[in-house]
Amino acid sequence: MKKLAVVAFGGNALLRAGQKGTIDEQETNAFEASKNLLNLLNRNYNIVITHGNGPQVGNILNSDQAGHILHGLPLMPLDICVAYSQGFIGYIIEQQLRNVLAANDLDRDIITIITQVLVNRDDPAFEKPSKPIGPYYSKEEAEKLMKETKSVYVEDKKRGGWRKVVASPRPLVISNKKSIEQLARNGQIVIAVGGGGIPAFYVEPNKLQGIDAVIDKDLASSLLAKQIGADKLFILTDVAKVCLNFNTPQEKSVDKMTIADARRYLAEGQFAEGSMAPKIRAAVDFVENTGKDAIITKTTLLGIDDGGTRIVIV
């Protein structure tokens, strides 16, 4: 019986630092990222792909704002922007992965599922926005935008610049998880929970409604991996391994990390919020609840022996 892996692409798998975000750039990046999935397919894995949308959903919001100011178009709520990003990112990944499979004489159906994720509208995250989205700005630009749009921007000192932050409530229930699992176990490649999923809540019994938020894609990926009984969770980022004392002369990469170690490092503040910290929490959540491994690594090391940092029970 084939093993089942959930592979969480970061937003930088499609849009990298310093790029403008053209579709040509994102298609090229998606093709390169998709080539690395061959390592898992050749190791007898079935695959569910999830992905981030931080850069893209921020750009969608900026375009929406410009259309409102210049042409009087109605502003779209954030849940609609997330749905928009799910559709076009899913399309790009699906198309480029088809190109990779065809070039390697492989035949699989690839199915993108627009995924809603239930959240609690009373989640404290709505009182304290923390999820960074969109491009980086100078302090002066951020202050101007905060005044004009009433949005919240925070400084990322490590990467240099100010970035918009929005609420990031904890995901509770993944919609269509049974279908996602069935399709994947039948050998189809499924793309789901894009951008952490479209945040929704019950405004009253039996009535779902979207809400302004961006769910952390790593936590949503971990939840999905648990709910479909995945054998392994891969969280892809822009570094080969998790590092302690990151970006300092004492920087040290970690090959294997127990969940006890991970919690201790989180408490020490080793991992930045909006960057590595949510990835570590997502990995710990999956490992603790399933007893199976999670791996954090860069896209090019996906499925490579000793590639990345392995999070384990003990």
Assess whether 177 carries a catalytic annotation.
Answer: no
Q: Where are the alpha helices (DSSP H) in the chain?
A: 23-35, 38-41, 54-71, 78-103, 139-149, 177-185, 217-227, 259-267, 276-290
CA 120 to chain centroid, in Å, comes to 20
Collapsed DSSP state (helix, strand, coil) of residue 19: coil
195 among known catalytic residues? no
Q: CA 83, CA 86: separation in Å to the nearest integer? A: 5
Nearest to 39 by CA among 177, 282, 232: 232
Q: Which member of 226, 241, 279, 298 is catalytic?
A: 279
Catalytic residue among 35, 131, 164, 292: 131
Which of 177, 217, 226, 292 is catalytic? The answer is: 217
CA distances to 59, 74, 295 from 162, in Å: 15, 26, 30
Q: Report how far Cα 112 is from the mean position of its chain's Cα atoms.
A: 15
Active site residue 131: yes
* Residue in 11, 54, 303, 308 annotated catalytic: 11
Question: Cβ(283)–Cβ(233) under 8 Å?
Answer: yes
Which residue type is seen at 62? N
Catalytic residues: 11-12, 131, 217, 279
